[in-house]
Structure formats: C-alpha cells, structure tokens
Structure 1
Amino acid sequence: MAALWSRTREKQKASDEVLIRSLYEEHGRALLAYAQRLTGDHAAAEDVVQETLIRAWKHPDALVNGKGSVRGWLLTVARNIITDRYRAKAARPTEVAEFAAATPVERDHADAVVDSMLVMEALDRLSPDHRSVLEEIYFQGRSVAEAAKALGIPPGTVKSRSHYALTALRDLYGDRPTTPAKFVALKEVAV
C-alpha cells in the first residue's frame, strides 16, 4: 500500500513540475514584463512571478475551467498579488525606534575656527572693493547681478573684481599646505 501511495505521489510531483515548467515557458516573459511595469523593480517582479506560479500550482483547476485564457488568469493573479503587497505596505504603521537615538558626537571645531581666522585675515589684505565683491557673492550668496545692484556697480565690474580678488587670494594662500576649505571652494569657482 505504501509503495502504491509513493508512486502516485511521484506521478503527481512530475505532473506538477511539468505544469509549472510549461506555464513558465509559455507565459513567464509576459508575466515578468507585466509585473515589472507595475512594480518598477525587477527583483520584486520576479517574486510576483514566482508567487503567481505557486498559486497556479495550488489551483490547477482554474487553468482548465474554460472561463478564459490562462494568460489572462495569470496576469490577474499577478496584479492582485502586487495590489495586496502595496496595500499591506501602506497599512503598516511606521516603525519607531525603541530607544531615542544617542546624541551625535560633535567633532572638534578647532579647524573651522582656524579656517575662519585665516579667511578673515585674507579678506583684510584685499582692497575694500575686492573684499566687498567677495562678501556679496560668497558670504551673502548673491548672484553677479544681485551683487552689482547691492554695490551699485555694473555686473562686468563685479565679475572683474571677483576674478582679481580670487587671484590675489590664490597668490597669498595657494602655496600653504593647509588651505582653508573656503579658499578651496573659492579657487574652484575662480578656475
């Protein structure tokens, strides 16, 4: 009796495998393309195709009942799986950490202080016209046109003065081994 049951089970496994293989060979690409278009993610689409084929294996009678095409049934199942996943994700409350995050450790700000002092010293060495243009453009964040309006000079003069001011800063501090970050940024803009 056990041998008969074992053979019946092996035949069932073989027919199930043939069913799934044939479904995948015939409809796998279309299912994957459809699922990928709906999810926007290739890996998620592969998971949907796999789940669709599992449902087809669990409900083989739905494939042969004559109520429509097999591909239509598979695409509907895939769409329903994607919809269920989307709804489950949307219904899940956002997770909150059990403990408040540790306060971040503040890095040593000594370098920033030294850099600020160097920038202030460098600006003091510039002419008032050059210094005012750099202050407007880099520290106030104004465009050339806005700086020109604020200073009451033509935009071309703002460009010219900023160019010569940055050149002077480069000449003053370009050869130092520890160039402040602000001067590095100013150099990149000037180049």
Structure 2
Amino acid sequence: MTEARFRQIISGTKRAVLGAIRAHLSPALAHAVDDVAQETYLRMYRALLKAGIPEDEKGLSSWAYVIARNECYRFQKRESGIRKKADAAADVMNLQQWTQDKSLDEFLDLEELEGWLQMLEEPFRSAIQGILEGRSIAELAASLGVPEGTVKSRIHRARSKLTEFRDEQNRDLALSAQEES
C-alpha cells in the first residue's frame, strides 16, 4: 500500500473515526483525542497490510468506526487503571501525612498505628485497612456491599479519628514534658 493510498483512506474515514471518538471517549479524556485517532489509524494500517484494501468505501468507514470505538474503550480502561494506582498512592501518602508526629517530626511506628486502627469502630476500620492494603474504592465498595460514596465517607471519618488520636497523644506528650520541667 502506498502512502498516497493510505492518505486517501484516512481522508475517507476521518469523519467516521472522529465521530466514534466523540461518541465513545469520555469528556474527561478530551485531551487524548489525537492519541486515540493515531492508534486507530495504526491498527487500520497494520490490518490493511495483512488483509489488503477492501473495495467498498462504505464498509471501510464502518470498519474504521468500529476500530475507533474499540480504541476508545481500550484507552479508557488503561487510563482507569492508571488513575486507580495514582489514587492508591495518594491515599498512602495522605495516611503518612496524617500519622506524622509533628512535634517530633518523625513517623509513627507501626505498632502505634495498629493500636489506633484497633481503636476505630468497625465500619471505619475495615475501610481504612482496605486502603492500606492498596485496594481501590470500587473494590472496597464491592467487598463491603455498600456504595462507593459510603466507603469514601468511612475513609474520611477514619482519617479524622486517626488525626484525633494523634492530636490527643501529642497533647499528652506536651503535658508530660511540661510536668518534667
């Protein structure tokens, strides 16, 4: 297949490809339209090299639409996985920040954190432990049998309680230091 012929195919299928992308790509991923279109045409090029060029132009546009649609789904799935990993990493970072003992500028030891986790009421404990295990909000919601919003709320409340435990300990340490001096 020549470059000129492939340019003709791109020109003839451009409307179908962009229509599929507009219909199937999430608006949150609008920045990726060019990437999805490029992947679509790469897949088409490879397939055309293997199978040859069909004679029917209308069939070619339909085929291009299907490839673009599938590429949208593929891209969204890949982005979703990346987002889940980023969310889990952010939760771990936030947990480290919440459990940082500001008066000593050191991180709490694991035993202390585990003690605080045991002090949490059950729905909050299971939610925050799931995050510590690296599970996503969706996975936790499914395993606990509650909506994602409920899981987020429980995590927020658990974090607030952990902060209260830390602040209480800091107050106790400050009082002990004052009594000694």
TM-score higher than 0.5:
no
Q: Which has the larger radius of gyration?
A: 1
- TM-score, normalised on structure 1? 0.38
- TM-score, normalised on structure 2? 0.40
Q: Greater share of helix residues, 1 or 2?
A: 2
- Greater relative contact order (Cα 8 A, min sep 6): structure 1 or 2? 2
